[in-house]
Amino acid sequence: MTHQVHIIGGGLAGTEAAWQLARRGVHVRLSEMRGGADGDRSPAHQGDGLAELVCSNSLRSDDDVSNAVGLLHHEMRACGSLIMAAADKARVPAGSALAVDRDVFSAEIEAALTAQPTLTLARERVDSLPSEGLTIIATGPLTAAGLADSIGRATGADSLAFFDAIAPIVYHDSINMDVAWRAARWDKGAEASFALGSDGKDYINCPMTKDQYLAFREELLAGEKTVFKQWEANTPYFDGCMPIEVMAERGEETLRFGPMKPVGLDNPHWATAEHPNGRWPYAVVQLRQDNVLGTLWNIVGFQTKLKYAEQQRIFRTIPGLEGAEFARFGGLHRNTFLNSPTLLDRQLRLKSAPHIRFAGQITGCEGYVESASVGMLAGIMTALEITGGTWAEPPRTMALGALLAHITGDAEAETYQPMNINFGLFPPISGKTPEGRKMKKPDRKVAYTTRAKADMAGWLAALGAGAA
C-alpha cells in the first residue's frame, strides 16, 4: 500500500496523528523503532507497545471546569481523540485525576490503530528526514541520534540532545509590586523597547539586602536537588545554562556578579533618606516577560536542579515573590526540542521544508496530554491538506489554541522552553462574576473554561467534518 503520510514516532503524539488521519481514510505509514529487528529502544522505554507512558501513569486533572489540562481533555474528546478514548477505557481510581492502567492504555491504542485498513505499522528506525512526501515527526524528547542529527542539520541547530535548562515561570498577578519594581538596568535598551511598543521598563526587579542575599545563597546550597537519570549522567551543560545552585557553590559573590547583579538598578521603593539600605540593593533577582500576553514571567538565570517543593519554598523567600504562583518550575534534564516559534509556521510545518510537520514534545510542549493534543492538531491539519479542506486555527481562548499559539509564535524565541498548558497562555480575563463581585482566582479559572467551551463550538463548526 502506498502511503500518503509518513509518521515517524509511535508515542502519544504520533499515534494520535495517525488516528486522525487513518480514520479519515488517509493512507498512513507509522514508523516506530521499538519492536524492530535491531532491538532499538530509547533508554526511557521499557517495552515495545505504542504510546507507552514512560513516567507517571497520570494524565493529570480531568476537571474541565477550573483546570487548564482538564479543559484540554474536554477539547480533545470533542475532536475524537484516540488518546482520550483509550484513557477513559483504561482509567483507574485517582480522584479527580485521569490515571490509567499503562498496559491497557497502550493495548487499546495499538488495537485501534492496527484495525484501521489504511494504516501500516512499520517497526523500523528512521535515521534521516524524508526529502519529499508529507511527513509528521513525533519522536519525542529522546529522539534517536541519527534522526536528531538530521533535524539539526535541517534546522541549523548544533545539537538537539542536551541538558534542557529551564528557569521557573511565575504568574504576573502573583508578584508583589509593592516590593518589586519595573526597570531595565541603567535604562539600557529603552529606545529599542519603545520601538516595540514597550515603556522601556522591561524587567521586574526583586531587591535583596546583604543579609537576605546571604541567607538565600545558603538555602540554595542546602536545598534538596534532583538526581539525574542514568542516560543523562554524561550529557554536558550548554554554556550559560549552569544551575543557580552550582553557581552559588563557586563563591559567596558569584551570584552577585551573575544573574543577581544589582548594578544599574535604582530601587524606587528605597528612595528615601530613612531607608537603611539606601537606594541600591545588594543583589537583585530579575524576571523577564515570557509571553506576548505579559501574563507569564521567567526568573532570569534561575535554571535549577532543586526539587519542585524546594523551589517553591526557597524562591518564595525572594522579596516580591512571597506569594508567587508558579506556572512552571525550573528543571534540568536531557531533552530534544525545536525552537518552534522560529522554525515552524502556524500549521506546525518546518518553514524550510514545508512537507514536514512536527508534533508532540519535540515542538516544545510538555506533558502527555499536551503532546497528544499537538499530534491531534498535526493530524487534522494534514488530513485537511490532503482532502482539500480548509484549516481553521483554534481561537487562543481555547486550550488547543493557546498551546498552538505558544508553540508557533506567542512565546519569546530567545527564551523558548518546554511548557505545560496553563491559564497563563490564555488571553487574560478581568472583570466581575455574573453575581457582580470582583473576580478572584477560582472565578477566573471558571471564566476561562466557560469562554473556551463557548468558542470551541464555533471552531468545530468552522472545521465542519474536518474535526468530526
- The reply to whether 49 sits in an annotated binding site is no
The residue type found at 18 is A
Q: Specify the DSSP element, H or E, that contains 74.
A: helix 68-78
- The reply to whether 378 sits in an annotated binding site is no
310-348 b/e (C-beta count within 10 Å ≥ 16 → b): bbeebbeebbbbeebbbbbbbbbbbbbbbbbbebbeebb
Quote the CA–CA distance of 285 and 301 in Å, as a whole number: 9
Crossing angle of helices 368-387 and 68-78, in 10° steps, is: 30
- The reply to whether 344 sits in an annotated binding site is no
Helix (H), strand (E) counts: the chain: 13, 17
Burial category of 103 from C-beta neighbours within 10 Å (exposed 0-12, middle 13-18, buried 19 and up):
middle
- The reply to whether 223 sits in an annotated binding site is no
- Reduced to 3 states, what is the DSSP secondary structure of residue 203? strand
- The reply to whether 12 sits in an annotated binding site is yes
- The reply to whether 11 sits in an annotated binding site is yes
Measured CA to CA in angstroms, residue 89 lies from 161, 301, 416 at distances of: 35, 43, 35
The residue type found at 352 is S
Quote the CA–CA distance of 364 and 376 in Å, as a whole number: 15
Residue 317 has φ and ψ, to the nearest 5°, of -85, -10
Binding residue numbers: 9-14
Binding residue numbers for FAD: 9-14
